[in-house]
Structure 1
Amino acid sequence: MQHEAVTPAPHSSLLPMLLIGVLFFIFGFVTWLNGALIPFLKIACQLNEFQAMLVAFVFYITYFVMALPVSGLLARYGYKQGMVLGLAVMVAGALLFIPAALTGAFGLFLLALFVLGTGLTLLQTATNPYIICVGPRESAAMRISCMGIVNKGAGFIVPLLFSAWVLTGMDAYSDSALAALQPEQKQLLLAQLSERLVQPYLLMALVLSALTLFVWWAPLPKLDFEQQPDQSARWSELRHYPQVWLGALTLFCYVGVEVIAGDSIGLFGQQLGVAQFGILTSYTMAFMVLGYLLGITLIPRWITQPQALLASAVLGLLFSAGVLYSSPERTLLADLFTGWLGIAAIPDPVFYLALLGLANALVWPAVWPLALQGLGALTATASALLIMGIAGGAVLPLFYGYLAGQSSNQAAYWLLLPCYAMIFYYALLGHKRR
Structure 2
Amino acid sequence: MAGGAASTTSYTTASPGSKSANYLFPFILVTSLFFLWALIHNLSPILIPHLKKACRLTDTQSSFIDSAIFIAYFLLGLPAGYFMKRFGFKAGIVLGLLIYAAGALLFIPAANSGEYSFFLLALFVIASGLTFLETAANPYVTILGKPETATLRLNLAQCFNGVGAFVGPLIGAEFILSGKEMSEAELNAMPAAELQAYLSAEAAAVKMPYTIIGIVVILIAVLFIFTKLPDIKEQHEAKDAKPENEGSIFRHRHLIAAIITQFFYVGAQVGVNAFFIRFARFAGNMPEKEAAYLLGAVAGLGFMIGRFVGTFLMRYIKPHTLLALYALLNVILVLIAMTTKGDVAIWAVLAVPFFMSIMFPTIFSLGLEGLGVGHTKLGSSLLVMSIAGGAICPPLMGLVSDASNIQMAYLVPLACFAVVLWFAVKGYKLDRAS
User: Could you say which TM-score interval applies, normalised by the shorter chain?
Assistant: 0.7 to 0.9
Q: Which residue of 2 aligns with 1:306?
A: 320
AA of the residue aligned to 1:76 = R
Contact 1:288 1:358 in 2 (8 A): yes
2:73 matches 1:63: yes
Q: Among residues 186, 194, 209, which one is paired with 2:218 in the alignment?
A: 209
Q: Among residues 397, 401, 404, which one is paired with 2:401 in the alignment?
A: 404
Contact 2:272 2:410 in 1 (8 A): no
> How far apart are residue 244 of structure 1 and its match?
4.2
2:166 matches 1:196: no
Q: Which residue of 2 aligns with 1:183?
A: 192
Q: Which residue of 2 aligns with 1:120?
A: 130
Comparing 413-422 and 182-191, the one that deviates more: 413-422
Q: Which residue of 1 aligns with 2:263?
A: 252
How far apart, in 1, do the equivalents of 2:270 and 2:150 lie? 26
Gaps of 5+ in 2: 1-7
Comparing 58-67 and 353-362, the one that deviates more: 58-67
How far apart, in 1, do the equivalents of 2:161 and 2:416 lie? 23
How far apart, in 2, do the equivalents of 1:26 and 1:328 lie? 35
* Superimposed CA distance per residue, residues 69-115 of structure 1 (whole angstroms, 9 cap, x where no aligned partner): 23332433344433332222111111111100111111100101111
How far apart, in 1, do the equivalents of 2:141 and 2:320 lie? 19
Q: Among residues 280, 292, 304, which one is paired with 1:278 in the alignment?
A: 292
> How far apart are residue 145 of structure 1 and its match?
5.5
Q: Which residue of 1 aligns with 2:308?
A: 293
3-state secondary structure, aligned to 1:101: helix
**C-alpha distance 154-204 of structure 1, shift in aligned 2 (>3 A):** same
2:250 matches 1:239: yes
AA of the residue aligned to 2:302 = F
How far apart, in 2, do the equivalents of 1:290 and 1:25 lie? 16
> How far apart are residue 324 of structure 1 and its match?
2.2
Contact 1:70 1:125 in 2 (8 A): yes
Q: Which residue of 2 aligns with 1:76?
A: 86
Q: Which residue of 2 aligns with 1:359?
A: 355
Contact 1:148 1:292 in 2 (8 A): no
How far apart, in 1, do the equivalents of 2:265 and 2:148 lie? 22
AA of the residue aligned to 1:406 = A
How far apart, in 2, do the equivalents of 1:113 and 1:228 lie? 41
Comparing 414-423 and 217-226, the one that deviates more: 217-226
Q: Which residue of 1 aligns with 2:4?
A: none
How far apart, in 2, do the equivalents of 1:76 and 1:269 lie? 48
How far apart, in 1, do the equivalents of 2:32 and 2:87 lie? 22
AA of the residue aligned to 1:249 = I
* Superimposed CA distance per residue, residues 170-199 of structure 1 (whole angstroms, 9 cap, x where no aligned partner): 25x555653442112201221122112111
Contact 1:292 1:362 in 2 (8 A): yes
Normalization by structure 2: what TM-score? Answer: 0.82
Q: Among residues 34, 37, 43, which one is paired with 1:33 in the alignment?
A: 43
3-state secondary structure, aligned to 1:167: coil
Q: Which residue of 2 aligns with 1:334?
A: none
**C-alpha distance 76-167 of structure 1, shift in aligned 2 (>3 A):** same
* Superimposed CA distance per residue, residues 210-249 of structure 1 (whole angstroms, 9 cap, x where no aligned partner): 22233343524525447899xxx99x95435555443332
Contact 2:10 2:139 in 1 (8 A): no
Q: Which residue of 2 aligns with 1:323?
A: 337
2:400 matches 1:390: no
**C-alpha distance 210-311 of structure 1, shift in aligned 2 (>3 A):** farther
> How far apart are residue 36 of structure 1 and its match?
0.7
Comparing 287-296 and 253-262, the one that deviates more: 287-296
How far apart, in 2, do the equivalents of 1:53 and 1:144 lie? 32
How far apart, in 1, do the equivalents of 2:253 and 2:150 lie? 23
3-state secondary structure, aligned to 2:270: helix
How far apart, in 2, do the equivalents of 1:402 and 1:160 lie? 28
Comparing 412-421 and 363-372, the one that deviates more: 363-372
How far apart, in 2, do the equivalents of 1:83 and 1:292 lie? 26
3-state secondary structure, aligned to 1:170: coil
> How far apart are residue 259 of structure 1 and its match?
0.7
* Superimposed CA distance per residue, residues 319-356 of structure 1 (whole angstroms, 9 cap, x where no aligned partner): 1222222x214xxxxxxxxxxxxxxxxx2222111111
Contact 2:55 2:114 in 1 (8 A): yes
3-state secondary structure, aligned to 2:351: helix
Normalization by structure 1: what TM-score? Answer: 0.82
Contact 1:32 1:158 in 2 (8 A): yes
Contact 1:317 1:417 in 2 (8 A): yes
How far apart, in 1, do the equivalents of 2:138 and 2:257 lie? 18
How far apart, in 2, do the equivalents of 1:394 and 1:382 lie? 21
CA RMSD of aligned residues (A): 3.4
How far apart, in 1, do the equivalents of 2:269 and 2:372 lie? 27
Comparing 80-89 and 98-107, the one that deviates more: 80-89
